[in-house]
Amino acid sequence: MAEKEYSELKKRALLAKQRLKMGYWQRLCEEKQKALESMSDNGNVRAVCELTQEKVRRDEHKALCAEKADEEELFYRKVCSILETDENTLNPIGQLIDKGEFDRLDENNRQRYILRLSQKFREMRERYYRERTGKSG
């Protein structure tokens, strides 16, 4: 177990070093500064800071768990397309269900699947609105 923790620590250290070399933090700081300058009232400063923190977390997650992060981003893009097409859609969960997987499940697992899917949808919808208000401010 200690060997796995060490390798995880080493992996994170290498990623941090790579971000420093590639100017990741400078670019992030510049993006944050531009967003702050484009927003006039101070209420949006907090929103910009939160968006920046979320971006750092997503980038780190993507670096450590690329496959899972790619699946989440694909799901996020689906949610974005649903919301951009019709924000008041009656059945967004129905549009997101993987029919093949859903058909293989028994009744209890179907309910769990729908609950997990609806939770993910809510999280991604909140992210969509936070990013949209952050960009349009």
Asked if pLDDT for residue 49 goes beyond 80, the answer is no
pTM exceeds cut of 0.75: no
Q: Assign residue 123 a region (left: φ > 0; alpha: ψ between -120 and 50; beta: otherwise).
A: alpha
Asked if pLDDT for residue 130 goes beyond 60, the answer is yes
Each domain of the chain, given as residue ranges in start order, spans 1-64, 66-137
pLDDT value at residue 104? 93
The band of 135, judged by pLDDT with boundaries at 50, 70 and 90, is: low
Q: Where are the beta strands (DSSP E) in 33-92?
A: none
